[in-house]
A and B are shown apart, each in its own frame.
Chain A
Amino acid sequence: MTGTTLPVPRNVAIVGLGNVLMGDDAFGPYVVASLQAHYDFPEGVELIDAGTPGHELSVYLDGRDVLIVVDAVLAAGSPGDLRSYTDDEVVARPPSLVTSPHEPGLRDALMKLAFSGRAPQRLLLVGVISSDIELGAGLSEPVSRAVPAAEEAILESLAQIGIVPSPKNPSSDPAIWWE
């Protein structure tokens, strides 16, 4: 496709994953709430606080042109560090042994969709290395500091595909009802 301009994708989802009652696990929903408070997104871009939907996750990823997932990740580094992964990097590892409906995680949902021919065409995972994932509402300080950078990373990747959300004027406070 070199030399031609790709059309702007029409079916984009930004999905925040995580349990808002479990400390830093709320990072995904937190970033989604922040983006919603700060920007108006063009038609065709859906922002979803998906919680921890387990086997239902595939419903929200199904058939997307571009999928951006925000989540906590287990990776080398310090709490609050952001890590980005694209497409195959996310799916390369084997899925979990499914014992409960929570177990099908992101990777499992993507593989299920790949089998049915409805996997997202492009995938970006913006992950934060978390500090405290324990019962209780509120992000730890280092993870909380990573929220603006995660928003930035998402805006950048949207810009690459020709999507530029307009800043809200005035912008509102994120609806973080769980804190």
Chain B
Amino acid sequence: MARITIDPITRIEGHLRIDVEVDGGVVRDAWSVGTMWRGIELILKGRDPREAWIFTQRICGVCTTVHAIASVRAVENALGMEIPLNAQYIRNLLVTAHALHDHIVHFYHLSALDWVDVVSALKADPVKAAGIAESLSPWPKNGKREMEATKARLAGFVAGGQLGIFTNGYWGHPAMRLSPEVNLIAVSHYLQALDIQRKANQAVAILGGKTPNIQNLAVGGVANPINLDSPAALNMEKLYTVKSLLDEVVAFVQQVYVPDVCAIGAMYPDWFKYGAGVTNYLAVPELPLDTKGTKFDMPGGTIIGGRPDSYTPITSFQDKYFKDNVTEGIARAHYEGSWDKHPWEETTDPKPGEVDHDGKYSWVKAPRFKGMPMQVGPTAQVYMAYVAGHEPTRRWANAALDKASKIAGAKLSPEILHSTLGRHAARAIRAAVMSELALKHWNLLAENIGKGDFTTFNEPKIGNEEVRGVGFHEAPRGALSHWVVMKDKKIANYQAVVPSTWNAGPRDGKGQRGPYEASLIGNPVADPKRPLEVLRTIHSFDPCLSCAIHTVDMEGNEQSRVKVL
């Protein structure tokens, strides 16, 4: 038996470490270790609740927008507020543009190297590659010229001895299976995705006033005045710029990202069998359509044990089923004591310690819903929407499954979503659904402004009495909720229960594993020194343990570590 530890030591403290026990080429047990503690409430206590979002968007430099949105929703919920329709739509545009950006980058820049052998692309025939790409999609940048240019660029890069960004790719690994041509297509789209990323970011910057930390949000709405005659306000010119940027991002999602995931997925059919782990799913409804948050364009709820008949919807920002059933536990986390508490009641008393697989081993708490571990993220959201009969989800999911089935030569059903590759497929389907909805909400905003409604902000009225609220947001990595207790116009308690806590959390007091841990069990590992398969499953969740710091290491040579004991 081998015990493998994957521990990125890129920062003074890391973020996520995975320990697995491998026996007979198969993972037998796993521990997900968050190596850094987070305590946003310690910074927020005593502050003005209207300013909380400015701080929460700095919890995590990647997920800025999502923590801002969840925070203003939490305070509005505590105050029983409605926000103007325009503000709802503008937030929805921020949410969709950010999510599309995030999903594209995750696939092409953070996880594609798990499946794509970059060096193999050097052996590709560009004409053949173009033929394959053009058979998959009408995307105009799939021609022979693009493929030749990509191959030449890659050859130059490799010849210069600077594989640079790809240095950590596991090329030549026995688990790599794409043809040189498909690898070349993927590298070509990797480059195009950089350009699309910039465009999605620009759309967020126009609406949010700035990126990466948006400034146009407010408890009560948004801070963008709408004035069609003012260059400083949100006017038609800016709205049309947003629209044309979104159009490009949407085309890329529908014509490049979705077909690529279908093609790559079809070549790794085994990976629809591994990595399901926890199949209790939680997603929250998103893209509110009214001022109160009682109607949504994307459904949410819970599913237990992957059973469609267990679907229970979460229907509004006031939903009691959600509000009453979330807890976090610290039995196996580095905090004083051993309790399960509702987020409003939590305390944060760090108790530093070593990694003890039989005791406390992670800085991440273990969130539970009715005492159960829940997987959150695209698989939870898409599978649930499919079960709930959400039309755009069913249409995009069926189209993607048909396409992949044709390439694979075998019938793929929605049940493949419960897997490592299923999470990538779900993310692509979700991106396609959101790409449609982004344009829909742009139209809704333009129509509402056309009716003469320019309101974007309702003044919040804060009293001295104690009030509690929850704000949730279906973020790119899944259900995010912020929980606030306010008294005397100040924050008395604040907790953020984030998607990566749901997924990366440790065992609980009952010994139930978290989703990362459960998903690794049964995974094959061909070469313990190069545990590509473990990375495949972990990366499929799009891990993001918040509270990043940024330090450039100018001394250490070893930037990350895979240790086999």
Q: Say whether A135 contacts B37, CB under 8 Å.
A: yes
Task: Report the Cα distance A85→B110, complex, angstroms.
Answer: 27
**Chain A: CB-nearest residue to B102:** A101
**Chain B: CB-nearest residue to A117:** B153
Closest-CB distance, A53 to chain B (whole angstroms) = 5
Contact partners of B542 in chain A: CB under 8 A: 101
Task: Report the Cα distance A131→B19, complex, angstroms.
Answer: 30
Chain A interface size, as a band, is 35 or more
Q: Say whether B551 contacts A95, CB under 8 Å.
A: no
Among residues 513 to 565 in chain B, which have CB atoms less than 8 Å away from a CB atom of chain A?
Answer: 535, 538-539, 542-545, 547-557, 559-560, 562
Task: Report the Cα distance A73→B550, complex, angstroms.
Answer: 8
Q: Say whether B552 contacts A53, CB under 8 Å.
A: no
Q: Say whether A20 contacts B43, CB under 8 Å.
A: no
Whether A104 contacts B109 in the complex (CB less than 8 A), given A117-B153, A177-B54, comes out as: yes
Kindly supply a per-residue 1/0 record for chain B positions 174-214, scoring 1 wherever the CB is within 8 Å of any chain A CB and 0 otherwise. Answer: 00000000000000000100100110010000000001110
Determine whether A90 belongs to the interface, using a CB cutoff of 8 Å to chain B. Answer: yes
Contact partners of B61 in chain A: CB under 8 A: 19, 50-54, 102
Taking a contact as CB atoms closer than 8 A, the residue among B15, B37, B55, B549 that contacts A133 in the complex is B549
Contact partners of B482 in chain A: CB under 8 A: none
Taking a contact as CB atoms closer than 8 A, the residue among B62, B167, B211, B548 that contacts A94 in the complex is B167
Whether A74 contacts B43 in the complex (CB less than 8 A), given A51-B61, A100-B543, A178-B58, comes out as: no
Determine whether B318 belongs to the interface, using a CB cutoff of 8 Å to chain A. Answer: no
Q: Say whether A52 contacts B157, CB under 8 Å.
A: no
Taking a contact as CB atoms closer than 8 A, the residue among B8, B165, B562 that contacts A115 in the complex is B165
Q: Say whether B197 contacts A59, CB under 8 Å.
A: yes
Q: Say whether B555 contacts A74, CB under 8 Å.
A: yes
Taking a contact as CB atoms closer than 8 A, the residue among B101, B168, B191 that contacts A98 in the complex is B168
Q: Say whether B551 contacts A73, CB under 8 Å.
A: yes
Closest-CB distance, B158 to chain A (whole angstroms) = 10
Whether A94 contacts B559 in the complex (CB less than 8 A), given A50-B212, A99-B539, A102-B62, comes out as: yes
Q: Say whether B39 contacts A106, CB under 8 Å.
A: no
Known pairs A97-B6, A133-B551; list 4 more (Cβ under 8 Å): A100-B544, A101-B105, A114-B157, A133-B12
Q: Chain A interface (Cβ within 8 Å of chain B)? A: 17-22, 25, 28, 49-56, 58-59, 62, 71-76, 83, 85, 89-91, 93-108, 111-118, 125, 127, 130, 133, 135-137, 177-178
A/B interface sample: 16 pairs, CB < 8 A: A17-B550, A25-B549, A55-B109, A56-B62, A59-B198, A59-B211, A62-B194, A89-B554, A95-B167, A96-B560, A97-B10, A99-B543, A100-B16, A127-B552, A127-B554, A136-B43
